[in-house]
Structure 1
Amino acid sequence: MKLADIEAQMQKSVEATQRSFNTIRTGRANPSILDRVMVDYYGAETPLKSMANISIPDSSTLQIDPFDKGSLGKIEKAISLSDIGLTPNNDGRVVRLNIPPLTNDRRKEFVKMAAKYGEEGKVAVRNIRRDAIDSIRKQEKNGDVSEDESRDLQDQVQKLTDKYTTRMDELLAAKEKDIMKV
């Protein structure tokens, strides 16, 4: 296992965590909160963003303009059943989501959710570290690398792990600040 591969895997974990953070709602309208909404469209679970244009007419409203107007009811139902906590308004042409200001309790819930996503991301990075170190130890046992090389590689893997867990903490702190900003 090469260090570049390990670093690429860790970077992917950071990006996945960032995408998870983007699905958490803040006080402003953001189309990425709809990323995990799946619509039952002709018997197939279809991502909402592939079925409609999502726009932001003002800072507290999302407007969903489906490509197929016949799917309005299904989109409305999928949003209602999702965990985003918003009530869709259907006017026959588009679905509007009014994003109310967050209460302090709701902000704290979202901060906890962000912390959970951040911890999941750090666990993913640590799992990558564990697999890499196991691989290095196996190479040392087989005689492919010397004991000194093994120790150096393990140190480098640990430094990468520290770098990416610190990055996760920075992303989490930024998201918490964004959520708590009134």
Structure 2
Amino acid sequence: MNEQADMLLMEIEEKMEKAISATKHEFSTIRTGRANPALLDSIMIEYYGVLSPIKQISSITVPEANQLYIKPFDRSSLRNIEHAIGASNLGLTPQSDGVGIRLVLPQLTGERRKELSKTAEKLSEHGKVAIRNVRRDGNDQIKKLGLTEDAEHGYLEDVQTLTNTYIEKIEEVTAIKIEEIMAI
């Protein structure tokens, strides 16, 4: 066993795990039938000259299954939050009550569900590409270690096994997300 190659394998696995985490995070921005505060993660608000995520400058609650309620810590940011949500690509209309903002998520149509499923598939493919890139880089690094032919072959097989495992994990996560999207 080569200690350098073993460390490299651990590093490769860690990077593949990060690709899974990144894909899961991307999935959280896809709207399903239920309200989820993570839906607002990508929206940034200018707050005292600094771009900040909504969740850092307000509390976000889920009063009903299809609603989000955003209550800013500082009421002066209410209009900025309302404007940013309106300008986002979420397709939601913010309703301000002077204290907070209510977002009502409309029921998804069958066609919209199919579009969101395709989006999930694209994000899944990006995750798989990231894992394959980690594999390619890992293989290159293993080949540079100057191992014996048999040892190198063994480590390259280990990298491929890791790749297959993590590609399967992404497919499982994707199947769960698509099931969530398609559930009525």
TM-score, L = length of structure 2:
0.94
Distance in 1 (CA, whole Å) between partners of 2:132 and 2:37 is: 31
- Which of 151, 164, 169 is residue 153 of structure 2 equivalent to? 151
- Computed over aligned residues only, the root mean square deviation of the Cα atoms, in angstroms, reads 0.9
Matched with 2:51 is 45
Could you list the runs of 4 or more consecutive aligned residues of structure 1 that deviate by over 2 angstroms after TM superposition?
none
- Which of 41, 56, 62 is residue 56 of structure 1 equivalent to? 62
8 Å contact from structure 1 (residues 40, 78) kept in 2: no
Q: Identify which range, 98-107 or 1-10, moves more after superposition.
A: 1-10
Matched with 2:82 is 76
AA in 2 matched with 1:156? D
Distance in 1 (CA, whole Å) between partners of 2:108 and 2:170 is: 25
Cα offset, 1:85, TM superposition: 1.3
Cα offset, 1:42, TM superposition: 2.5
Cα offset, 1:43, TM superposition: 2.5
Report whether the alignment pairs 1:132 with 2:132: no
Distance in 1 (CA, whole Å) between partners of 2:84 and 2:183 is: 29
User: Percent same amino acid at aligned positions?
Assistant: 47
Matched with 1:117 is 123
The 5 Å alignment of 1:7-26 reads 7-26=13-32
Distance in 2 (CA, whole Å) between partners of 1:102 and 1:174 is: 17
AA in 1 matched with 2:176? A
* Structure 1 segments unaligned to the other structure (5+ residues): none
Cα offset, 1:112, TM superposition: 1.1
How many residue pairs were aligned? 178
